[in-house]
Amino acid sequence: MSFLRSMICGRQRLSICRVAVLTWLLMGSLTWAVDPEVIWCQPLQHPNGPTIGVSPDGLIAASAAAQSDGSQASIKVWNAHTGELQREIPIPGYPNWVAISSKGYVAAGISSGLNLVVLYDVNTGDYVRTFFDVSSYPIGGAFSEDGTILAVGDFNLTARTYTIPEGHVIRHITMPDIVNIPDSITLSPDGQLLAIAGHNGIETTPYIDVYKIPSAQLAARLTWDGLSPALKEVKFSHDGTMLGVTATDGFLRIWDTGSWGLVHEFDSEFITGSWSAHEFDFSPDDRLVLWGLDPNPVATLIIRLDTGEVLADYFGGIQRNAEFLADGSGWIKGGVNMGLCLYKNEFLWVSSDLNSDSDVDISDFAIFSSCMTGPGGTLAFGCELADLDADNDVDMVDYSKFVNWFPW
Quick: pLDDT tens for 365-377.
Answer: 999 999 999 999 9
For residues 59 and 79, give the distance between their C-alpha atoms in angstroms, rounded to a whole number: 6
Taking Cα atoms as reference points, which of 101, 96, 164 lies closest to residue 131? Answer: 164
- Range scoring the smallest mean pLDDT among 74-78, 164-168, 188-192, 403-407: 403-407
- Residue 85 sits in a domain whose CATH number is 2.130.10.10
Average pLDDT, the chain: 82
More confident residue, 60 or 249: 60
Taking Cα atoms as reference points, which of 308, 194, 306, 171 lies closest to residue 240? Answer: 194
Q: How many CB atoms lie within 10 A of CB 369?
A: 12
- Residue 387 sits in a domain whose CATH number is 1.10.1330
Do residues 89 and 136 both lie within one domain? yes
Output the pLDDT for position 219. Answer: 94
Cβ 55 vs Cβ 122: under 8 Å: yes
Full domain range(s) for residue 5: 1-30
Q: 204-218: buried (b, 16+ CB within 10 Å) or exposed (e) per residue?
A: ebbbbbbbebeeeee
Q: Count the domains in the chain.
A: 3
Q: 92-117: buried (b, 16+ CB within 10 Å) or exposed (e) per residue?
A: ebbbbbbbbbebebbbbbbbbebbbb
Output the pLDDT for position 337. Answer: 63
Average pLDDT over residues 81-109: 94
Output the pLDDT for position 126. Answer: 97
Do residues 82 and 24 both lie within one domain? no
Cβ 255 vs Cβ 263: under 8 Å: yes
The model's pTM is 0.84
CB within 8 A of 169, min separation 6: which ones? 133, 160, 161, 162
Average pLDDT over residues 85-91: 95
Do residues 181 and 259 both lie within one domain? yes
In the predicted structure, residue 262 carries a pLDDT above the cut 80: yes
Average pLDDT over residues 21-29: 35
DSSP, collapsed to helix, strand or coil, labels residue 406 as: coil
CA dihedral defined by 127, 160, 280, 21, rounded to 10 degrees?
180
In tens, the pLDDT along 205-225 reads 788 999 998 888 999 999 887
In tens, the pLDDT along 132-166 reads 877 678 888 999 999 999 999 888 778 889 999 99
Do residues 261 and 292 both lie within one domain? yes
